[in-house]
Amino acid sequence: MATLEKIRNKAGLLVVVVGVALFAFIIGDFLNSGSTFFRQSQEKIAEINGEVISIHDYQARVDEMTEVYKMQTGSNNLSEELMSQVRESVFQSITQETLLKELTSKIGITVTPEELFDMVQGENVSPMIQQMPMFQNPETKTFDKAALLNFLKTIDDDNIATFPADQQGQLIQAKNFWLFWEKNIKQQALNNKVSTLLAKTISANVLDAKDLFESKAENSDILYTHQSYSTIPDSAVVVSDSEVKKMYEQRKEAYKQDEGRVIKYISVDITPSQEDYDKAKGEAEKLREELITSDKVADIVNDASETPYVNAFVSNKSLDSKAKVFVNTSEVGTVSDIDFQDNKYRFMKFVDKTVAPDSVKVAHIMLATTSTAQADSLKTVLDKGGNFGELAKEYSLDTNSAQNNGELGWFTEIAALSNINEEFKNAVFSLPVNSVSIVESLYGIHIIKVLEKTSSVEKYKLANVEFTVTPSSKTYSNIYNDLNQFVAKNNKADKLDEAAKEAGYSLTSNVTVTAKDQTLGFIQNSRPVIRWAFEHDKGNMSEIFECDNRFVVAAVQGKLKEGYRSLNSLSAELKRELAIQKKGEKIVEDLTSKNFTSLEAYAGVTGNAVDTVKFINFATRSIAGMGVEPKLNAYISLAKINELNAPVAGTNGVYIFKVYNREKSAEEYNEKNLIEELNQANLYRIGYGLSAELVKMSEIKDNRIRFY
């Protein structure tokens, strides 16, 4: 009973304890279940009309495009600058695909499997595929459908499974390459369908055709003189604040802006010191002596030079101007003087020369690395007169060349060395025409046949030592430490201008950056500076960033909200434009009051001679010597021949002109062709602008600044 009484006495406390426990249980469960939501929010790189794009999906697409780029260029590594371009391209692609999918699903437009088949391997293969070098005849450079079909057969899953494990990876990579382009072809076709549909709604008519024809039907030749707006001082015209505000309101829609940051920054080049140059010169002189006395040319070059030693002969036409002079004025064994240009030391050794064909045309049958016996057997057949082309089609693993009788095309020594290996190079340049041999490479076993050779010419083997003078670690540290000490002493953003000037640093101010910007001006790999600016408030100063070959320190001057640029930020720009308009009005008024009757008289007061321009019509985009002057185009087209025209205020100055000749175009009016020309122009314009318009009409939240 005593225990029960204690419980009753503590009932209030018990309710509180139980309540806390229940709340902890409930909130704990909420947090656990909600962790997915928070994680998804953190992983959201963008949201397009409510559709979330995760960082994982985005990065997968970036990785895909990176691999495609590597395959197309043969590069193993991409610079940060190129990676920024890849990431931007992927984001634009995802945005366009998402918006186009949303639109086409509403209006019922699709690309059917049958249409896609026709574009990738049917009767109407996409130009995107036809332009790929891998599907073109190496000799005619025209699309070879057989090469395409053979490639598709090679990357078929069942066919890939028949290859050795070490080759399957390359074939899978090739298949992924193809799927990337197939997806792009489908997307392009979908875009074309929508563009065509929209273009049909504004189809050109007879009146449009006549207007186009008449705009180009007559060409006028003029005599003119002009007065530049710069001849009137700014103080001669007055622009009121109300005029500036009126122009701002009229154009406000053109002044939309993304969220941004206004920053100022110090940029310091990381350049070699005089000590670095002196040391590099000493190293160059030492290496030159070694090259003179040593026969280990390849070792010296490969150890010291930025470009490796190439054990191949090259013809005179393949040499740069300095190398040509060197081989034409030197004996074998000579080492050139040291040349210093563009921060780079260079010298050469004349290793050898010969007289031999510059290029050879080669065919091959490629077999697996384990097929030595088969290679010997096929060579025996060929030595007895077997048909090389037929055997290539039947046995070669290089299916692309096999369809062309095994032909690989023409090789110089350098091409043979870099594309295959030295054994291949030595064999093809030593074999007589129509001879057959067997060589091995990383790709497999090659049965090679030399089909043709060019005429023999003088060829040279050179050893090139070249290296750029770079800052030493000591120089790097000195530059960094000096800047670091400056930042430590001057860590107030509002005092940075004066401090930088006193210390001799160059400061760039009032730079606006948005989350989409990849670089800070022309400073490469400066995206981290922009990311920093978006993570900090006004007045903050950054740490030192290393951007390519520069150190950068930034400070946030202010923030710009998404919306419209302020009147204050545009006031100076609008005032300049209004001032030019007023100058034009003043010059026109002054010149008109002269009542001159000749161009020469006007030229006397404008300070410019009388000049001539021919072949101007209403559609002329840019007039020679004047630039883009649409108002002048109209006046010239309407002017009477040999009649002095009144002064016209144009974009770049005030013009007085006289049409002295006018001729009709020899082109005949062809209504059908003109309408087709206009419709094609509409289709191109709509296709080009479709994505931009879809973006403008959509709600897109871009969070990339949080990740990259």
pLDDT tens, position by position, 352-388: 999 999 999 999 998 888 888 888 989 898 888 899 9
Q: How far apart are CA 78 and CA 85, in angstroms?
A: 10
* Of 316, 314, 341, 317, nearest in space to 329 by CA: 316
**299-316: burial string, b at 16+ Cβ within 10 Å, e else:** ebbeebbeeebbbbbbbe
Mean pLDDT of 413-440: 89
641 to 354, 535, 630, 669: CA distances (angstroms):
72, 65, 20, 24
> Other CB atoms closer than 10 Å to residue 330's CB: what's the count?
15
pLDDT at 14: 34
pLDDT at 30: 41
Mean pLDDT is lowest, of 75-84, 276-285, 373-382, 604-613, for: 75-84
Mean pLDDT is lowest, of 92-96, 331-335, 492-496, for: 492-496
Mean pLDDT of 230-253: 94
Q: Which two tokens stand for residue 320?
A: 């740069």
pLDDT at 41: 64
pLDDT at 261: 94
Pick the CATH number of 259-271+472-561 from 3.90.1150.10, 3.20.20.80, 3.10.50.40, 3.30.420.10: 3.10.50.40
pLDDT at 39: 55
Backbone angles phi, psi at 457, to 5 degrees: -140, 165
Please say if the pLDDT value at position 26 is more than 60: no
* Confidence band, pLDDT 50/70/90 cuts, at residue 159: confident
pLDDT at 339: 93
pLDDT at 202: 85
The answer to whether residues 401 and 454 touch, using CB atoms and an 8 Å cutoff, is no
Helix (H, G, I), strand (E, B) or coil at 224: strand
Q: Kindly report the length of the chain.
A: 708
Mean pLDDT of 509-515: 93
Give residue 11's identity as a one-letter amino acid code: A
Q: How far apart are CA 289 and CA 307, in angstroms?
A: 19
Please say if the pLDDT value at position 542 is more than 70: yes
Give 662-704 as a DSSP string. Answer: EEE-SPPP-HHHHHHHHHHHHHHHHHHHHHHHHHHTS-EEE-G
The answer to whether residues 407 and 472 touch, using CB atoms and an 8 Å cutoff, is no
* Architecture of the domain defined by 359-453: Roll (3.10)
Mean pLDDT of 639-655: 94
pLDDT at 459: 93
Please say if the pLDDT value at position 120 is more than 50: yes
* Of 504, 481, 476, 496, nearest in space to 542 by CA: 496
Mean pLDDT of 477-505: 93
The answer to whether residues 516 and 702 touch, using CB atoms and an 8 Å cutoff, is yes
The pLDDT mean for the chain works out to 88
Please say if the pLDDT value at position 527 is more than 90: yes
Displacement of CA 251 from its chain's centroid (Å): 32
Mean pLDDT of 609-631: 91
Mean pLDDT is lowest, of 78-92, 121-135, 649-663, 677-691, for: 677-691
* Of 38, 545, 530, 59, nearest in space to 259 by CA: 530
Give, as one character, the DSSP assignment of residue 576.
H
Please say if the pLDDT value at position 653 is more than 90: yes
Q: Which long-range contacts (CB under 8 A, 24 or more apart) does 543-547 make?
A: 543/487, 544/480, 544/483, 544/484, 544/487, 546/270, 547/267, 547/520, 547/523
Edge-to-edge strand order for the sheet containing 507-514?
A: 507-514, 260-269, 550-560, 545-547
pLDDT at 16: 37
pLDDT at 12: 42
Mean pLDDT of 629-641: 93
* Confidence band, pLDDT 50/70/90 cuts, at residue 139: low
pLDDT at 162: 82
Q: Which two tokens stand for residue 418?
A: 């870099």
Question: Where are the strands (E) in 456-530, listed by range?
Answer: 456-468, 507-514
Residue pLDDT, tens place only, 556-600? 999 998 899 889 889 999 999 999 999 999 999 999 999 999 999
Of 389-393, 474-478, 616-620, highest mean pLDDT: 474-478
Please say if the pLDDT value at position 80 is more than 90: no
Please say if the pLDDT value at position 119 is more than 60: yes
> Other CB atoms closer than 10 Å to residue 652's CB: what's the count?
16
* Of 171, 270, 161, 227, nearest in space to 523 by CA: 270
Pick the CATH number of 218-255+582-664 from 3.30.460, 3.10.50, 1.10.3470, 3.40.50: 3.10.50
